[in-house]
A and B are shown apart, each in its own frame.
Chain A
């Protein structure tokens, strides 16, 4: 039995786990590997359903990784009506172009790729997103569901700073204890003496 389409999967998950909300994120590339964005609250229950469902049996978590989506700022030009004072002192209403900037808060993402060894199908791609990149970077750990996720969640914690609640042994794995930064985040700055400097001719 082949895997259902992402939309069917979403519907069946939402039926199987009360309260869960799943969003299908389309992948526009030729691979068309669409992913399922889970809400953090029900992620653990959804993961257990995916693993134990008779038709799916997604028993193998092949990959866990982090993604950093930094804060973005978009600007758009908007026409606004304004009172403008002319040189002779008279006021008149004119249309003026204004640049409006909107800030979109960033977040951290954990991505899981699931396969089924039993049914020989996959992958199903799961995404979990934190609320922001600062104070609330907590996500539920899926290590209790797939044991193999343990080291890779530790790696995502080490390099991106995602805190996996429920992880049995959440320590840094590549960098040393006492290291304060998260080097794979987009805004990581290496120590000053290590920044490669290039000759600049002006």
Chain B
């Protein structure tokens, strides 16, 4: 059905008739005006800033407006090491963003703790508490990598169906848009992860096999 429609559209456009769907138009608008939150945590933030400047020019993708308030942002780029002391604030900022909202985990630290994984003070990946849409490896990732992640996110937004069971979270009233903020416990953060969000990948190279 979808393919038939696509072919019909192409056929019509060949004859000078332009057609579109509401879904396409809506997603086209959304993907080209993703406004990130002005938010940096560590050295990855420097690369993120470089990405926005003239040489790499993130503005080409409609994302030049870094909003200073989470209330106006669509995207949070977790750029850098998330310490345990900072983690509640990151989750709280994410909670304060209006739906639809997206997360890019930028760099080794934001993904897994990276080189500081063994540290007592570092969160082992922000995906323990909030749902991450795109992970970028690298230490730090180059601006090209961030742009690639951004284009991946745009593709993801573009492909979101607005109806049906697979529609995005912000169109499903019963799904949460806020996530529990971890608290400072006696030995670490409580809870250590949000199990509704955090899924250990299969074939995790860090799993014990005895």
Contact = CB atoms under 8 A, between A and B. Distances in A.
A199 B204 CA distance: 9
B121 A191 contact: no
Given A197-B206, A200-B209, A202-B210, A174 B186 contact: no
Main secondary structure of the interface of A (DSSP, over half): loop
B193 A193 contact: yes
Interface in B81-125: 85, 117-118, 120-121, 124
Contacts of A176: 85, 184
Q: Max chain B CB contacts within 10 Å: which of A174, A177, A178, A179?
A: A179
Interface residues of B, number: 19
B54 interface: no
A199 B186 CA distance: 29
Interface in B29-47: none
Interface in A177-196: 177-181, 183, 188, 190-191, 193-194, 196
A16 B209 CA distance: 64
B164 interface: no
Contacts of A202: 210
Interface string B178-210: 000000111110001100000000000111111
Interface in A156-186: 174-181, 183
Given A176-B184, A180-B187, A200 B192 contact: no
Nearest to A188: B120
Interface residues of A, number: 21
Contact of B207 (A174, A191, A197): A197
Interface in A40-62: none
B192 A194 contact: yes
A180 B206 CA distance: 28
Given A179-B186, A183-B121, A191 B192 contact: yes
A199 B193 CA distance: 22
Interface of B: 85, 117-118, 120-121, 124, 184-188, 192-193, 205-210
19 contacts: A175-B85, A177-B184, A178-B184, A179-B186, A180-B187, A181-B120, A183-B120, A188-B120, A191-B188, A191-B192, A193-B192, A194-B124, A194-B188, A197-B207, A198-B206, A198-B208, A199-B207, A201-B209, A202-B210
Closest 10 CB pairs of A and B: A183-B120, A191-B188, A176-B184, A180-B186, A197-B208, A193-B192, A191-B187, A199-B209, A197-B206, A200-B210
